[in-house]
Amino acid sequence: MAESAAPSVVTDEMRAQLGVEGPETTLEVTSTGCRLFARAVGHTDPVFYDRDVARSRGYRDILAPPGFLGSPVYRPGMDDRHSEHATAHGVGVGLRVPYKRVLNGGTACQYEEPVCAGDVLTSRSRICDFQEREGSIGPMLIVYRETIYRRPDGAVVARVRGNAIHY
Amino acid sequence: MPEQVFFEDVEVGQTIPSLRKNCSSQQLVVWAGASGDFYQIHYDQAFARNTGLDGIIVHGALKHAFLGQLLHDWVAPDGRIEQFGCQYRGMDYPDQDITCQGVVTGKHVEGDRHVVDLDVWTENPTGQKTTPGTARVILPSRG
């Protein structure tokens, strides 16, 4: 990939959003949510399914599988075009980008402590960077985001960095 | 579950047990529900082709979660994943093997934390690394 020679599609309006925290999202980490996520991945460790096993291994409750940080509390009319974790995983929402298509470019999770069933988390995302490239699929705009997940007492439990490729 | 891996057992350059995945279209639908990612390129062939793809593709975040399973199964029951991330460089398709692999790139002690760094990735049937990434795990010590 080379730097794009085409005119930049990053507007002043977009640049003004760099670093600005988005609205707060409430996420519930339920036992059912943990089990469904674990099943979808194909996990076989009972720590993701059985509360007694999880407690015997020192967890408060069923352990949330790696990458699962709860389900946003849904309200009719919420934007769920692509993803519950639209902001967390960096898939484009809230930006006026002149490209129709978007792909998830990458995900990185950093845990400060384990997440377990029963946890209620809040998250806030911010855009960290824009990069423009010329790729095999044509000109692309890559939007980098970070989402921070907190417990009700404000303690950070996880950070997720993601990027979305608009093309 | 295999026996616990301890910090002292790990050497730089060591590979960890691989994990082979092969997604049915049904698994992608279960993942859509579990993750809340309802983007149609992952379950609607006509929609996927209309966006220029060859057909439905495996969710990037599912491959990220597969790498999470690879790491969890290696460090369980007493180790834990501190961070794991990857880039979605190549597409993967249903009914094709996705092989998750990892190699130890470093180890060190920080106070009472026994830290191991890894490169992790998924490979498609032609051996292309479609999802390269890195991870950091904490292992128990025999000490």
- Average pLDDT over all residues of chain A: 87
Bridge partners, residue B138, by sequence: B80, B115
Say which residue the tokens 């439905």 belong to. Answer: B56
Q: At what angle do helices A31-41 and B60-75 cross, to 10 degrees?
A: 100
To the nearest whole Å, the CA of A4 is away from the closest chain B CA by: 19
Contacts of B38 in chain A (CB under 8 A): 80, 82-83
Contacts of B65 in chain A (CB under 8 A): 37, 40-41, 65-68
> In chain A, where do the E strands start and end?
2-3, 25-28, 71-72, 102-111, 120-135, 138-150, 156-166
pLDDT tens across B80-99, in order?
999 999 999 999 999 999 99
Do residues B69 and A43 touch, judged by C-beta distance below 8 A?
yes
Domains in chain A with CATH codes:
2-28+69-166 (3.10.129), 30-68 (no CATH)
Interface of B with A in 34-73 (CB under 8 A): 34-39, 51-52, 59-62, 64-66, 68-69, 71-73
Nearest to A27 by CA among A164, A157, A162, A143: A157
pLDDT tens across B27-74, in order?
999 999 999 989 999 999 999 999 899 999 999 999 999 999 999 999
> Is ipTM over 0.90?
yes
Cα–Cα distance between A88 and A67 in angstroms, integer?
11
Superfamily for B7-138?
A: Hotdog Thioesterase (3.10.129.10)
